[in-house]
Amino acid sequence: QEEGNTATGGLRRRRVLVFPLPYQGHINPMFQLAGLLHARGFAITVFHAHFNAPDPSRHPAYDFVPLPDGMSAACTDDTAEPAVIATIKNIFAVNTSCEASFRERLAALLEAPGARDDVACLIADAHLLTLVDVARQQGVPTLALRTGSAACFRCFLANPMLCDKGYLPAQESQLDTPVRELPPYRVRDLMAISRNREEHDLTCKLLSRAVEAARTSTGFILNTFDALETDELATVRQDLGLPVFDVGPLHKISPAASSSILPQDRACLEWLDAQAPSVLYVSFGSLANMSGADLAEMAWGIANAGQPFLWVLRSDLVRGAARVTLPDGFDAVTRERGMVVEWAPQEEVLAHGAVGGFWTHGGWNSTLEGVCGGVPMLCRPYFGDQMGNARYVELVWRTGLALEGELERSKVEEAIRRLMRSEEGGRMRERAQELKRRAAEAITDDAAGSSLLSIDKLVNHILSLSL
């Protein structure tokens, strides 16, 4: 800890309130950020919805304020509705259903003796605009955390322009049109891509609310690092005109987050210990799902590629199925050279020397974890920012491949071979190793790491705030 740059450097301990969006890919970075602020001396209070609630016993140093959210009904799987629409509606539902209880509980917290001096700010997920507004109305300064890339947020900012210029809503015939204003995106890589009008409108609303949460806050936090997204960060800074703190890769700075919703199967780490450095790690994050037919094509593609593999098969990975069933005969392949788990300690898996490649859906946390693991990536994006992240992996950092179109076993097999065993894959691996070094530099003291400097600025910014 640096002198004068900690929350306890002064006379009193300042408190940071955090409010994560209750999805795994949002909970992890918020807890990692809380962990790093706690290490700098801040007290932490976590406000949270009941839906996907964190387990306070795993974070004994923090205070927790659960809010009744009436969400369980909204969150039961409505399979009649596309996953993206259901997820966006849930995000809006968290905002509205927590509004009144958050107002009440925040007011109660601020009435406690000395609280107005102790509380420094609220850091809320950028998708919680309603709650950002509630805090501001009560005089609490806010910061917004966006858990995607800077490139993705640049698209959020550009979304009205993309609609004005007619890129969106997308026409079938335009999907491969390059978006000149946002290279290397094509129309199909944009977030508000849906040709379903309801989904398009909901996505536009989601993006504009996140931009408003940033614009109405005192600062904006991104889990990325300068060397990875130099130009994208510069654009976001210029457009927002606010302090923007690039504090990533958070999982490498903050002690491993024990914020996993599903139990992690740690036996796979032992299995990895016994493997040569050539394992393909396959995981599609916490939300993406696929058809049973795609799962079978994936399985046979993995089998035919002949590579050792560690495969995360979430029990709800297959749409409309109560559990995941692998094709007959696949068990023998797993026994010979693989392991299948329901949920892995992914940060540790990707840092393990035996992992030589990562087949990912391209969620931003997974992408960053892959970058820090220095492994080439095979990206199969499903929705949201995943298409854009795959584009960056393939064309900007050139550390992997995107697997597009119909999922067929022969294409899967070929893509795995290219990634893991070809000369081209070897060059991707070299670039991935270089990016891993740049990520490590961003968080080293000696090299005046860009993210550590940004965290110092963030700490000073928070200490300068008062109610």
The SS3 call for residue 71 is coil
Nearest to residue 190, comparing CAs of 214, 170, 212, 171? 170
The SS3 call for residue 257 is coil
Dist. CA 350–CA 29, nearest whole Å: 17
Per the listing, tokens 């387990």 go with: 55
Question: Cα 118–222–370 angle (5° rounding)?
Answer: 125
Alpha-helix runs per DSSP H in 112-196: 115-118, 129-137, 150-164
Minimum CB–partner distance for residue 343 and ligand UDP (Å):
4
Minimum CB–partner distance for residue 174 and ligand UDP (Å):
26
The SS3 call for residue 43 is strand
Minimum CB–partner distance for residue 361 and ligand UDP (Å):
6
Instruction: Give bridge partners of residue 46 from the DSSP assignment.
Output: 18, 64
Minimum CB–partner distance for residue 349 and ligand UDP (Å):
8
Based on CB atoms, which residue is closest to ligand UDP, 31 or 167?
31
Nearest to residue 452, comparing CAs of 225, 227, 241? 225
125 in active site: yes
Dist. CA 32–CA 28, nearest whole Å: 6
Alpha-carbon separation of residue 410 from 297, 417, 422 (angstroms): 8, 11, 16
Based on CB atoms, which residue is closest to ligand UDP, 340 or 442?
340
Per the listing, tokens 């050792």 go with: 308
The SS3 call for residue 74 is helix
Minimum CB–partner distance for residue 385 and ligand UDP (Å):
9
Minimum CB–partner distance for residue 339 and ligand UDP (Å):
12
Within 13 Å and on the Cβ side, how many CA atoms surround 90?
A: 22
151 contacts 229 by C-beta, under 8 angstroms: yes
Cis ω before 327 (30° cut-off from 0): no
Minimum CB–partner distance for residue 394 and ligand UDP (Å):
17
Residues that bind ligand UDP (CB under 6 A): 23-25, 28, 260, 264, 283, 285-288, 312, 343-344, 346-347, 363-366, 369
Among 38, 59, 118, 125, the one annotated catalytic? 125
Alpha-helix runs per DSSP H in 146-196: 150-164
Q: How many residues does the chain have?
A: 467
Based on CB atoms, which residue is closest to ligand UDP, 312 or 377?
312
Alpha-helix runs per DSSP H in 216-325: 230-240, 250-253, 267-273, 292-305
β strands within 299-395, DSSP E: 309-312, 338-341, 355-360, 377-379
The SS3 call for residue 409 is helix
φ and ψ at residue 416, rounded to 5 degrees: -65, -45
CA 27, chain centre distance (Å): 9
Minimum CB–partner distance for residue 341 and ligand UDP (Å):
7
Based on CB atoms, which residue is closest to ligand UDP, 43 or 295?
295
CA 272, chain centre distance (Å): 25
The SS3 call for residue 421 is helix
Minimum CB–partner distance for residue 384 and ligand UDP (Å):
7
Among 26, 127, 352, 461, the one annotated catalytic? 26
Based on CB atoms, which residue is closest to ligand UDP, 58 or 165?
58
246 in active site: no
Which residues are the active-site residues?
Answer: 26, 125
